[in-house]
A and B are shown apart, each in its own frame.
Chain A
Amino acid sequence: MFLPLQSINFKTTNYKKMKSFKIKYPIVLLMAGALFLTSCDKDDEDPLTPVPATYKTTVTFNHVSGSNALTLNAPNTPYTNAMGQQYNVSKLRYLISDVTLHHSNGTTVELDQYFFVDISKPETFTFSPSNPIPTGSYTSVSYTFGFDSEDNVSGAYAELNAANWNWPAMLGGGYHFMQLEGTFIDSSNSSSPFATHMGTARKFDANNDPIYEDNHFTVTLPNSSFEVNSDFKLEFTMDINEWYTNPTNWDFNQYGAGIMPVYDAQILLNTNGKDVLTVVKK
């Protein structure tokens, strides 16, 4: 009889606000200046200047473990990492930002939102950025896993705050980049928890003072060229097994729970993570 509470209207405005202020403001100023100059030169506008056609994109995410589709809370431990350790998954949330489409003419389109995916919530698998995307040939797609240091501002994103996505201040603050959790069959053949959480990496200097290392990575995806002449979809797929190999095999017995303060584990995720995502344009 009663409608459920409408889902909370999460804001991503902070993200754009910060970006436009810090990066795009000078560009906008330049453009405004250029327009102003142009309008001084010529009073009449040229009605014959062609406006390039633009289209919309939909961004989707899906998830696999090697050749298996990824299912939450699957019975037993159906997945196997590169070290032959069997595991299952009870949680996967991650953050992608600065997805950028590189046009063959040298221009780029940076999608106007971050993507916070929670595989327990299918509504977070699909996003519709508002950017108009000009027609033409694109050479590649690039993205940032997590937030870069400019975006990784503690407390700046309401949606992420309410999701307890923050990374502790004593580990450098900002936000988590990923939470991948489940259980694995450990070296004594019993079920043990693992929590692959990724964010800012902390180490200590000679005086035992903390040093915080920005731990995001940016990847230009191979085989990601495409043509745009209509609305289209960008389908990202994450193979979670790629977190645990290439170049270095990850041992759940070594890095199971409690890895957030473990510097080497954080850096290893960064090193291994470059090939976790692939993209197909449809």
Chain B
Amino acid sequence: MKTIQYKIPFILSIIGILFVVSCVDDDPIEPVTPTGCDTCLVEYNPTPYNLKLPPFFSVLPTPVIPKNNPLTVEGIELGKKLFYEKKLSINNSISCSSCHNPDYAFNDQGVAFSLGAMGQSGIINAMPLFNLIYADSYNWNGNAATLEEQIFGPVKHPLEMMESWPNVAIKLQNDPSYVTLFKKAFPNETIDSITTSKAIAQFLRTLVSGNSPADNEFGSQLGFPINGRVLTVEERRGFQVFSDQEKGDCEHCHGNSYNPLWTEYTFRNNGLDLNPDSGRAAVTKLASDVGKFKVPSLRNLIYTAPYMHDGRFNTLEEVVDFYDQGVEPNSPNISVDMFHRTGANGHIINLSPQDKKDLVAFLKALSDPSFVTNPDYRP
């Protein structure tokens, strides 16, 4: 019914005319709202949004959109405006996009820790944002089970936006453009933390990255249509280093040519430190989760330096050197996959300089230039 109404503008305009008539009609039974007729013409009649995924992504399970927050054109438009909205912060100084910059795959540009509304430093590296519909938890420690829940956090976090949700709601309610957009996007007209986070979550679910040279290489091998170059000879050698159990052995955590997510979203300790940060244990309170962090996707690495949850490595060369020689084998709960051979020093790989160069070239080829220039994702 809603779809029909939307698709027939004629009916819509008739409804609109009727509504206008009832507004100006001097009927004593119908109360007339003196103000707000700018928005009283606005109806909740959203257009379902059909999310397009790259053909190659059909090697993955079909992602599920929560039933209580379906994607709509109006919800996504509102969510995008809110994502770039500085009113979400205490002093109207920063927006989500301040730390999740579209030019850098929605990661903060080149800093380990982003700055909050008052210029204070955070304590963990902002994660890039793409292909979030495939994840089953959010943040480095997975403390948010849904995107909607994740969005509650940064607004009120003392190291981030420092604002209260009731204040955000008041600021948005005082902006007529938001009153209209919320009315179009949600069935009740409440502007609050719930509708705001739902709208932003809808926008974030549209951030799909699937057009890297590696996608083209592995997608075309399976017969999917592609749009861009495939891997070079050097990058192909790098994939062999990546896959080889006696070399990189990156596959167990980061996936393979049939998993374009380049992560399995598990929590692992990769052996950064003898006394690691609590990581996942902050959520589960389990000693067996100390030092474990969400395995990050390797997609779009050329835009997301520095690397690791604390941004300790500035270059991919440093990252490869760490996995080659620098793993701390006695770190508690270290992933068994950090060991490549039985016995002492099984964690040391000894890649050749050529292997390292090839591996870095492959890692860079997991980046998707069309994602960081996509105009749909910008205000």
- In the complex, 10 of the A-B residue pairs with CB atoms within 8 angstroms, ordered by the A residue number, are A2-B66, A6-B64, A9-B61, A155-B257, A164-B255, A166-B256, A192-B342, A192-B343, A195-B337, A261-B246
Is B258 in contact with A161, judged by CB distance below 8 angstroms?
yes
- By beta carbon, the residue of chain A nearest B148 is A2
In the bound assembly, the distance between CA atoms of A194 and B222 in angstroms comes to 34
Is A154 in contact with B62, judged by CB distance below 8 angstroms?
no
In the bound assembly, the distance between CA atoms of A69 and B119 in angstroms comes to 53
Cβ-based interface call for A62 (8 A)? no
- By beta carbon, the residue of chain A nearest B266 is A164
Q: Mark B214-241, 1 if CB is under 8 A from A, else 0.
A: 0000000010000000000000000010
- Evaluate whether A8 and B61 lie within 8 angstroms (CB atoms) in the complex, with A155-B258, A194-B336 already known: yes
Cβ-based interface call for B194 (8 A)? yes
Nearest chain B CB to A189's CB is how many angstroms away? 13
- Residue of A159, A163, A254 with most partner-chain B CB within 10 A: A163
The 8 Å CB contact of B259, one of A164, A256, A257, is: A164
Is B340 in contact with A258, judged by CB distance below 8 angstroms?
yes
Interface size on A, as a range, is 35 or more
Q: Mark B130-157, 1 if CB is under 8 A from A, else 0.
A: 0000101000000001101100000000
Return chain B residues, CB-CB under 8 Å to A258: 245-246, 249, 339-342, 346
In the bound assembly, the distance between CA atoms of A256 and B61 in angstroms comes to 33
Cβ-based interface call for A83 (8 A)? no
In the bound assembly, the distance between CA atoms of A193 and B338 in angstroms comes to 9
Nearest chain B CB to A232's CB is how many angstroms away? 30
Is A2 in contact with B149, judged by CB distance below 8 angstroms?
yes
Nearest chain A CB to B324's CB is how many angstroms away? 15
The 8 Å CB contact of B60, one of A90, A161, A171, A182, is: A161
Return chain B residues, CB-CB under 8 Å to A161: 59-60, 258-259
The 8 Å CB contact of B339, one of A2, A72, A195, A253, is: A195
- Residue of B66, B145, B256 with most partner-chain A CB within 10 A: B256
Return chain B residues, CB-CB under 8 Å to A183: 336
Is A168 in contact with B243, judged by CB distance below 8 angstroms?
yes
Is B343 in contact with A10, judged by CB distance below 8 angstroms?
no
Is B67 in contact with A6, judged by CB distance below 8 angstroms?
yes
Summarize A's interface: helix, strand, loop or mixed: loop
- Chain B residues in the interface with A (C-beta under 8 A): 58-64, 66-68, 134, 136, 145-146, 148-149, 194, 222, 240, 243-246, 249, 251-259, 261, 264, 286, 288, 333-334, 336-343, 346
Nearest chain B CB to A171's CB is how many angstroms away? 7
Return chain A residues, CB-CB under 8 Å to B149: 2
Is B59 in contact with A155, judged by CB distance below 8 angstroms?
yes
Return chain B residues, CB-CB under 8 Å to A155: 59, 222, 257-258
- Residue of B253, B286, B337, B338 with most partner-chain A CB within 10 A: B337
Return chain A residues, CB-CB under 8 Å to B336: 90-91, 181-183, 193-195, 257
- Residue of A155, A158, A162 with most partner-chain B CB within 10 A: A162
In the bound assembly, the distance between CA atoms of A121 and B256 in angstroms comes to 23
Cβ-based interface call for A11 (8 A)? yes
In the bound assembly, the distance between CA atoms of A5 and B65 in angstroms comes to 7
Is B251 in contact with A159, judged by CB distance below 8 angstroms?
no
- Name 15 extra pairs, CB < 8 A, besides A166-B256, A257-B339: A1-B194, A2-B146, A5-B66, A72-B288, A73-B286, A161-B59, A161-B60, A161-B259, A164-B253, A164-B259, A166-B255, A166-B258, A169-B257, A193-B339, A258-B339
Cβ-based interface call for A48 (8 A)? no
Q: Mark A176-195, 1 if CB is under 8 A from B, else 0.
A: 00000111001000001111
Nearest chain A CB to B134's CB is how many angstroms away? 7
- Chain A residues in the interface with B (C-beta under 8 A): 1-11, 72-73, 90-91, 154-155, 158-159, 161-164, 166, 168-171, 181-183, 186, 192-195, 252-261
The 8 Å CB contact of A162, one of B134, B286, B343, is: B134
Is A170 in contact with B66, judged by CB distance below 8 angstroms?
no
Return chain A residues, CB-CB under 8 Å to B59: 155, 158, 161
Is B66 in contact with A11, judged by CB distance below 8 angstroms?
no
In the bound assembly, the distance between CA atoms of A252 and B339 in angstroms comes to 14
Is A164 in contact with B342, judged by CB distance below 8 angstroms?
no
Is A170 in contact with B340, judged by CB distance below 8 angstroms?
no
Is A168 in contact with B145, judged by CB distance below 8 angstroms?
no
The 8 Å CB contact of A11, one of B62, B246, B341, is: B62
The 8 Å CB contact of B340, one of A1, A154, A181, A257, is: A257
In the bound assembly, the distance between CA atoms of A134 and B206 in angstroms comes to 48
- By beta carbon, the residue of chain B nearest A265 is B342
Is A253 in contact with B222, judged by CB distance below 8 angstroms?
no
- Residue of A2, A11, A166 with most partner-chain B CB within 10 A: A2
Is A164 in contact with B256, judged by CB distance below 8 angstroms?
yes
Return chain A residues, CB-CB under 8 Å to B67: 3, 6
Nearest chain B CB to A168's CB is how many angstroms away? 5
Nearest chain B CB to A37's CB is how many angstroms away? 40
Return chain B residues, CB-CB under 8 Å to A159: 61
Is A2 in contact with B288, judged by CB distance below 8 angstroms?
no
- Evaluate whether A260 and B245 lie within 8 angstroms (CB atoms) in the complex, with A168-B256, A170-B240 already known: yes
